[in-house]
Amino acid sequence: MTPGAAADPAPGRHFLTVPAPGGERLDLFVAATLPTSRTRAATLIATGAVTVGGRAEKASYRVVAGEVVAVVVPAPMERPVLGESIPLEICFEDDEVLVVNKPAGMVVHPAPGNWSGTLVNALKGRGGALAPAGDPERAGIVHRLDKETSGLLLVARTERAHRVLATALAERRISRLYATCCWGHLEGDALTVDRPLARAPHDRQRMVVVAGGRPARTDFRRLARFASSDLLRARLHSGRTHQIRVHLASEGHPVLGDDTYGGGGARRLAGLPARRHWLHAAWLRFPHPATGLVVDVRAPLPEDLRHSLATLAERPDLIADPNALSYFGFYHDAD
């Protein structure tokens, strides 16, 4: 799933009652309650879209329990999504669906701060049909990957295909397996993390484990143990934002290179480039939306992660080996 600005709240007038004990800054209260980012809340306050008991207040105002905060969220300005000539690696394609091997560093769909250069811009630039997935910015997208996560991503070309695949995803009939390396070592070769996730109340770009969050389960299997890290295969049973990254961090073993959740240190030791975390969507299996037959698609490790794997494993020959994951048994016994 893609990091970036938090989704804007629904347009219209919102009435927020301050719970006891109160005392929170107005911008923080609005950000946590709508919810939205603190920057967006501050902008709404500065432009007069927020009132407290009918009066304007500054972002630093301390709200009082029982006060009613009214927030008027304007409708977003429509912005055309333009096709761009951006090379894409297509791993599977027919009239109903395609599978893209997304490179690290590419955002999946346009949003504030990333209106161009996204996967959707590239798909539109290729031509051909894309399913209308609610709005032009998400045309055809069935699921997402974080910006710095590479690998396989499923795109629907027809409305029927999008509906069928979205249902299959919700019913866990789509298998998504990721290769990742974490700092340190798991206690055993298998680990299941079943902890609910939600956005952090004061930082909408981060996710946290919290009671009352959305259910999230990830199964991990260790494929190799290196001096400072483990190579893991991760299977998603749900698709929450940053799920693999947060679940591993909650175990004290953050993903290598993950600056957001504590794994960004010692990049040189891991052989990782800047702003790259060690996470790759390597194996995707899904029922074809027209035939029901299982489509099996695999994406070898990209060069940057092969270089890191060779560094961690002290095996220079792996840098040039497109089947490095197969060497460690990634594609065996996945069911």
Q: Cite the active site residues.
A: 146
Instruction: Indicate the residue type of 317.
Output: D
Question: Quick one: which of 29, 110, 97 has its CA closest to 292?
Answer: 97
Count other Cβ atoms within 10 Å, centred on residue 315. Answer: 14
Sort 21 into a burial class: Cβ within 10 Å, 0-12 / 13-18 / 19+: exposed
Taking the C-alpha atoms of residue 190 and residue 63, their distance in angstroms, rounded to an integer, is 47
Question: Quick one: which of 204, 142, 144 has its CA closest to 4?
Answer: 204
Is 219 in a helix, a strand, or coil? strand
Taking the C-alpha atoms of residue 30 and residue 182, their distance in angstroms, rounded to an integer, is 36
Sort 294 into a burial class: Cβ within 10 Å, 0-12 / 13-18 / 19+: exposed
Question: Quick one: which of 38, 79, 33 has its CA closest to 52?
Answer: 33
